[in-house]
Structure formats: C-alpha cells, structure tokens
A and B are shown apart, each in its own frame.
Chain A
Amino acid sequence: GENVEQHPSTLSVQEGDSAVIKCTYSDSASNYFPWYKQELGKGPQLIIDIRSNVGEKKDQRIAVTLNKTAKHFSLHITETQPEDSAVYFCAAGRGGGGADGLTFGKGTHLIIQP
C-alpha cells in the first residue's frame, strides 16, 4: 500500500517569513495530492491540492509543487501570519481524487512566532 512520509514534524518560523513542508510517497499509481490544515478541536480542512499532470499550483500565499519522478511534493506558505499556526497534513491518493481514500502523512505542527 501507499506510504507517505512528512517532514518536519514541527516547524517554527517568524511572522512574515516563509514555511516549507515536504512529503514523499511510495506508490507510483498515486495521482492526487491534497494538503489539509487542522486547527485545534476541528476536522482537517482542505487548503490546496495538486494532480499528477501538474507540476505546480498556487493560491495566494500558498503553493504546492510536485516532482513525480522523485515522488515528492511540498507545501510553501509565504508571508506567514499568526492564523497560519496549525497542524498541516499532506496526503496521497488514487482515482484522481478522494473517491478511493487518502493516505496521510503524520503532520507538521507549524508555529508562527510574532
């Protein structure tokens, strides 16, 4: 089955700086890579996703890159703000979307220092 590794487990950055979270996956058949943000006491919230036919996708301060050959993908957050503090999860799945279930990384606790 799929195995997703995520690093780092904790990331502390100064407000206004950039944050980068990296993930690797093992199943070459995976073709859908979403990122979720989870705040305390809440469910994971989808913030951005990328499919295997695209190398990069950007949405305002958030961007995701995908390297299919190396089987890794990354989340980039620029101009970080206090409200970006949360746990971020990467995931990988098949079937072009959520329909076949997702395998999640262990999460990164992002701390934005004021």
Chain B
Amino acid sequence: DAGVIQSPRHEVTEMGQEVTLRCKPISGHNSLFWYRQTMMRGLELLIYFNNNVPIDDSGMPEDRFSAKMPNASFSTLKIQPSEPRDSAVYFCASSPGTGGKAFFGQGTRLTVV
C-alpha cells in the first residue's frame, strides 16, 4: 500500500492567495483527519470525516479554512485568503474507523509570505 498521499509537499504563496491542499487516504479507510503542526502549538486536529461526512470541525481556526471530502479516496483543505500565520505543516491521516489506528501522510509544508 502506498500509504496516505498528500500533495503538494511544499507550497509557497503570497498573502491573500487561495491555497488548496490535497489528500488521498489509504484505500478502505473510512475516517480521514486533517492536522496542523507548528512549533508553538504542536499537532492540532482541524477537522475529521467519517464515511466522507464531516463529523467535527471545531478545530478549524477561522472561516477562511474549509475542507471537503467528495468521495472516499480524496479530500481537500482550502485556505482563502491565506495569511502568514497560516504557515505550518499540514498533515492528513486516515484510519479504518472505530478501533483502528491512524496513519499519517508526509505532510504539506505551507509558507505564506
């Protein structure tokens, strides 16, 4: 299995631009999570989906952030407009569901200048 696949690996954008991060979960997994990692705040859960349905988005910092999961094999995290304080590494993880273990992708390093 290729594991959780995220793209792009690195993204540099200017403040005010729209940014879209992409994730392909492990086939057969029905839970998907988006995390953000910074030095100050560590790993924070932003949102998670079960069977493509958003269950808890309480970790999404602002309305500028949105996430979708149109099907079982694809999810996006969008930031519009982006700000310098959004600079972080964003991880996607997937799990086979209740009782299952969560597996992380390699992350997308986002830099907003």
Contact = CB atoms under 8 A, between A and B. Distances in A.
Nearest to B103: A46
Given A96-B98, A97-B101, A98-B95, A42 B45 contact: no
A82 interface: no
B50 interface: yes
B102 A105 contact: no
Contacts of B106: 41-43
A95 B98 contact: yes
Contact of B31 (A98, A103, A106): A98
Interface residues of A, number: 23
Contacts of B97: 97, 99
Contacts of B93: 43, 98
B104 A45 contact: yes
B101 A46 contact: yes
Given A44-B43, A103-B45, A98 B104 contact: no
Interface string A42-65: 111110010000000000000000
Contact of A106 (B42, B48, B103, B104): B42
A101 B42 contact: no
Contacts of B95: 97-99
Interface of A: 34, 36, 41-46, 49, 89, 95-107
Interface of B: 4, 31, 33, 42-45, 48, 50, 55-56, 91, 93, 95, 97-107
